[in-house]
């Protein structure tokens, strides 16, 4: 197949992916990891933030403290504060999800929900006090309301972390952009692809570049997991959006065009610098040699990757 006509210009997008000047499946998530602060007296702002972060009931207050006082912290403290805030939100997420999964809460949200509705707006519209309390608590913690798994779920709103970027080390600035892009437009929801094939490969390249560039980052392990998951989507698609047609086993034309255009825009130098793009180039050639189908030879290649 290997179509050569460019149907979408990826030059800017791919450049940002490789150079990290731009933003950014559902599997993304930073592992709660601990890093030790230097043995110096913390600033008042950092100490207050850490104190308020100790209890779930005051996570929202801790976030407000960080927004207002991060400029009074050292960069190391700012890094620690943002990482600790993410860890706290991730640690409470199972409880938040359980609370929102209560049948009455799900029903109340369903009755008033419109696409893109914020947690705060949902709280203002539901009538039952039980549901209002749950949504009020999660609004205070700045979780985002999303549809998923056949119902409604809370999601960490990484977009709100962007206010912290000027105070953070470069790796965490990039990490926030990547996480915000994924949380605002998840790659996969309910086993179905939500972005086009250009974005599928672009995000994988971005995760790979993070892992290559920031090997000692506190979030390197999280980005490595994200990369491995996104790589699987590049070469296989999602369960409900497979890369190869289930009946004919022929590669999807839209995906093939997107991948070919991505490689054309990248050029030999960027392809050589990225193991993912190198593998994708070899993969497309093999698929072409096998009549654009997922033959045993293609499956063997994927298994060996």
pLDDT tens, position by position, 235-292: 999 999 999 999 999 999 999 999 999 999 999 999 999 999 999 999 999 999 999 9
Name the strand (E) or helix (H) holding 152: strand 151-156
How open is the CA angle 205-209-215, to the nearest 5 degrees?
145
Are the C-beta atoms of residues 178 and 206 closer than 8 Å to each other? yes
Q: What is the mean pLDDT of the chain?
A: 88
CA pair distance 127, 239, nearest whole angstrom: 38
Confidence band of 4 (pLDDT split at 50, 70, 90): very low
Q: Radius of gyration over alpha carbons of the chain, in Å?
A: 22
What per-residue confidence (pLDDT) applies to 150? 83
Structure tokens at 99: 């609370």
CA pair distance 235, 200, nearest whole angstrom: 10
Whether the model pTM is above 0.75: yes
Q: HSE of 258 in the Cβ direction (CA atoms, 13 Å)?
A: 17
**Each residue of 195-240: pLDDT tens digit?**
999 999 999 999 999 999 999 999 999 999 999 999 999 999 999 9
pLDDT > 70 in the chain, percent:
87
Question: Greater confidence, 119 or 36?
Answer: 119
CA pair distance 124, 239, nearest whole angstrom: 36
> β-pairing, 192-193 with 237-238?
unpaired
Q: Is 4 exposed, middle or buried (0-12, 13-18, 19+ CB in 10 A)?
A: exposed
């Amino acid at each position: 197949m290997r179509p050569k006509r460019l149907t979408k210009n990826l030059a800017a997008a791919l450049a940002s992916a490789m150079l990290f000047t731009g933003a950014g499946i559902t599997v993304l998530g930073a592992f709660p990891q601990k890093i030790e602060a230097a043995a110096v007296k913390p600033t008042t702002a950092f100490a207050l933030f850490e104190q308020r972060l100790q209890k779930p009931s005051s996570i929202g207050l801790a976030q407000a403290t960080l927004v207002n006082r991060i400029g009074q912290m050292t960069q190391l403290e700012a890094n620690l504060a943002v990482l600790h805030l993410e860890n706290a939100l991730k640690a409470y997420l199972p409880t938040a999800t359980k609370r929102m999964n209560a049948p009455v809460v799900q029903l109340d949200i369903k009755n008033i929900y419109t696409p893109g509705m914020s947690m705060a707006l949902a709280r203002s519209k539901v009538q039952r006090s039980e549901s209002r309390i749950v949504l009020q608590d999660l609004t205070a913690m700045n979780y985002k309301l999303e549809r998923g798994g056949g119902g409604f779920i809370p999601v960490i709103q990484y977009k709100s972390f962007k206010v912290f970027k000027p105070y953070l080390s470069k790796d965490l600035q990039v990490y926030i952009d990547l996480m915000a892009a994924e949380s605002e437009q998840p790659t996969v929801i309910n086993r179905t692809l939500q972005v086009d094939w250009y974005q599928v490969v672009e995000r994988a390249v971005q995760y790979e570049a993070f892992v290559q560039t920031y090997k000692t980052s506190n979030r390197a392990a999280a980005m490595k997991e994200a990369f491995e998951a996104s790589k699987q989507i590049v070469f296989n698609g999602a369960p409900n959006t497979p890369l190869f047609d289930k009946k004919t086993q022929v590669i999807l034309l839209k995906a093939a065009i997107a991948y070919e255009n991505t490689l054309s825009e990248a050029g030999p130098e960027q392809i050589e610098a990225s193991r993912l793009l190198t593998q994708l180039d070899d993969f497309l050639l093999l698929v072409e040699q096998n009549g654009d189908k997922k033959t045993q030879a293609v499956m063997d290649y994927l298994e060996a990757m």
